Amino acid sequence: MKFISGRTDTNIYYYIDTVDIQWADIDYMDSYKDWTLDPNNFNDLPNLVNDLPSYGMHFIQIVDPGISHTLGYAPYDDGVKRVIFIKTHDNSSFIVGKVWPGNTVFPDFTHPDAGNYWYTHAKAFHDKVNYDGLWIDMNEPANFVKGSLTGCTTGSMDDPPFVPRELQTGIHNH
């Protein structure tokens, strides 16, 4: 936090007025969980963010749609209660993948309550850190494992009869 504050002060001192946004990558999070603050390294982030407008600056934070699969973590517990996460092909459980916070579930943004779910947690965090906008990263949704921790299904819909030419011949073999 001191580095960021010092850098902002330096930019102002040298009249570098083209800097109007301060953004934070996922390092500000506690164990890379959305809507949390690292209590050791970013505990003063709310004060820094509140000070930015005095320099004519705004604050943007990165969030990833993957939600840590951790009991007692409010976004996970709330998502389970709302049944908001993407389920397996047979609807028996939530798909669990692996992203920055470790085992991760993914909100189903086609779910009728997805907007309310996302807003609830964004608003709760905004009440702590007065951010100006969100940079939603890894919204593919990205996953560090193939399919899920249990792999992929193998039905006819999972192995379509058409394959892009690049996969048949290699992208550089034309």
> Known catalytic residues?
137, 140
Are the C-beta atoms of 63 and 99 separated by less than 8 Å? no
State the residue for tokens 């085992």.
103
Distance of CA 120 to the CA centre of its chain: 15
Q: Spell out a b/e string for 92-104, using b for 16 or more CB atoms within 10 Å of the CB, else e.
A: eebbbbebbbeeb
Residue type, 159: D
Task: Work out whether the CA dihedral 166, 169, 171, 173 comes out positive or negative.
Answer: negative
Nearest-angstrom CA–CA distance, 81 and 71: 12
Nearest-angstrom CA–CA distance, 17 and 116: 37
